[in-house]
């Protein structure tokens, strides 16, 4: 994966603004997530990383550090595998294939009445964010059956 100099400069600034050490693995993680069209698994990240010595534990540690600072979001899916994406993008939901695990973004729609009902039922003062996933079969998997 070719890293664009402008994006690398932005990613360095992003890490420094959160008081995180700038390391090759963090820069490459941000670059991978920046260019991803949908949330990516750690397995996919591992396959995409060019940094030598980047084992699974290092990937998880760095993703966790970025997640704690709100730079990265973890999308927890039904089967437990975590997928990751950059935060700060437009709010969206996901549709997941129950057969092959493919994850696609669904453009923003805001179910305001669901949020209002959740506030009333829970007694919460406010809702900061929500997560909504749809599960089904992608066209490839449906055609194989």
Please give the annotated binding residues for Zn(2+), written as ranges.
97, 100, 138, 141
Binding residues: 91, 97, 100, 130, 138, 141
* Cα–Cα distance measured from residue 18 to residue 3, given in angstroms and rounded to the nearest whole number: 21
Computed over its alpha carbons, how large is the radius of gyration of the chain? 17
CA 32 to chain centre: 11
Left if phi > 0, otherwise alpha if psi is -120 to 50, otherwise beta: which for 52? Answer: beta
* Side-by-side strand order, sheet with 72-76: 40-41, 82-86, 72-76
- Residue 17 three-state SS: helix
Pairing of strands 93-97, 133-136: parallel
Binding residues for Fe cation: 91, 130
């Amino acid at each position: 994966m070719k890293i664009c100099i402008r994006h690398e400069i932005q990613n360095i600034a992003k890490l420094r603004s959160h008081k995180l050490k700038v390391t090759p693995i963090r820069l490459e993680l941000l670059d991978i997530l920046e260019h991803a069209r949908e949330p990516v698994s750690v397995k996919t990240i591992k396959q995409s990383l060019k940094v030598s010595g980047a084992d699974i534990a290092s990937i998880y540690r760095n993703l966790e550090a970025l997640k704690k600072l709100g730079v990265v979001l973890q999308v927890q899916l039904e089967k437990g595998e975590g997928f990751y994406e950059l935060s700060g993008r437009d709010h969206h939901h996901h549709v997941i294939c129950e057969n092959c695990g493919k994850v696609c973004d669904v453009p923003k729609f805001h179910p305001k009445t669901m949020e209002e009902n959740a506030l009333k039922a829970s007694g919460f003062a406010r809702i900061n964010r929500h997560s909504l996933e749809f599960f089904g079969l992608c066209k490839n998997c449906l055609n194989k059956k």
